[in-house]
Amino acid sequence: MTSWMKPLLAVILTSLIAGCSFWGGSDEIQPAELVDFVPENNVSVRWSATVGSGPGSRFHQMVPSIDGDRIFAADSNGTVAAFDRNSGARAWTANLREQIVGGVGAGFGQVMLTTRSGQVISLNANDGKELWRHQLSSEVTAQPQINREIVVLQQINGRVTALDRMTGEHKWSFDAQVPALTLRGSGVPLVAADVTFAGLANGRIVALDNVDGQMIWDQRVSLNEGRSDLERIVDINSRPTIVNNVLYVVGYQGRLLAINPFNAQALWAQNVSSYRGLASGFGNIYAVDAQGHVHAYDAASGASVWSQTQMTNRRLTSPTAIGTTIVVGDREGYLHFLSQVNGQFVARHRVDSSGLQGDLLVRDNTLYVLSNAGRLVALTLN
């Protein structure tokens, strides 16, 4: 396949996965209608703010990030803003005059962003002043991930790169083969103190040494067994998660896999096709599949606990746990709160009509949401 066709096909595929025709119009697949239920909880807005013009309604992986008592968010045109996460008071705003993708990574007094041209930009979290820039070999659509020593970036050309957090100096790179056709976007690496876990477009997950980027182990999550390029897409486009010393990862047209992170031993697997992240709580692992169904699996055994199938084609965000509920956002801007016990609806709240696509954040029982139009909202569930 010629290189110029890959981005086009990736965009087309993203549209198909999202449940709509490429050109839109009357043949667009409609989302499931909202179901009626008796709310058991109330949703309250603590504060709301605006971040430029927002990420936009096209596919994006832009998410805010929290460091200490501040939350940081960006729009697609280069506006970056910092807010007090308790009051919503704006601390500073910077205009990078660059097209931003992948959202914000924050930690250890720094704010990291990536541009459409493949640059990584580090800002001072206190005042938004630029600290350094580094040019990568390709675009990064996923949120930068930070630990005390390095910032790790997963590029769309299959390369995982680590930079020195303080200086931006290149530390190491790991290259993985990219299939002929992939989903738009990339996986989000999980960076621990000594090891980085990265899900790849070829359906594998690798553990990389944070010192030199050498591969410690790899494990297959999904098998590309289809007849066509479309059927063989097995991207891992989400961030792995570790719960009680078990690593969980899910792939598109693949599996939800529980892995021993020390030796790569597969503990259990469930057939789930997802390009969203995972959540945990109440002894369960929660996944949103490509059709918009939410599933709960027992974290220890992988046994199915419940499934919520009444949000088909609503383009759900990754699930997030808050209190006794699991919350997902959708294409029409609604937040849906489900009981962790049985998956039933317990509350619903509309942020705005622009829609929700980026992942949700929870800190100290407060939910933070960035809408496609740039409305940043802090909410509580009572």
**CATH architecture of the domain with range 33-60+309-382:** Beta Barrel (2.40)
The pLDDT confidence band at residue 189, using thresholds 50, 70 and 90, is very high
Q: Is the pLDDT of residue 217 over 80?
A: yes
Most confident of 125-129, 135-139, 176-180, 203-207: 125-129
DSSP 297: E
Average model confidence (pLDDT) across the chain = 89
85: left (phi over 0), alpha (psi -120 to 50) or beta: alpha
Q: How far is CA 214 from the centre of its chain?
A: 25
When mean pLDDT is compared across 5-19, 104-118, 158-172, 269-283, the lowest value belongs to 5-19
Q: How far is CA 292 from the centre of its chain?
A: 15
The pLDDT confidence band at residue 229, using thresholds 50, 70 and 90, is low
Q: Is the pLDDT of residue 352 over 70?
A: yes
H-helix or E-strand containing 111? strand 110-115
Task: Please say whether the beta carbons of 107 and 91 come within 8 A.
Answer: no
The domains of the chain are located at 1-30, 33-60+309-382
- The pairing of strands 284-288 and 278-281 is antiparallel
pLDDT confidence of residue 183: 56
> Comparing C-alpha atoms, which of 353, 310, 309, 302 is closest to residue 331?
353
Q: In angstroms, rounded to a whole number, what is the distance separating the alpha carbons of residues 301 and 328?
A: 24
Instruction: Give tens-digit pLDDT for 9-19.
Output: 443 344 444 44
Percent of the chain with pLDDT over 90: 77
Q: Is the pLDDT of residue 99 over 50?
A: yes
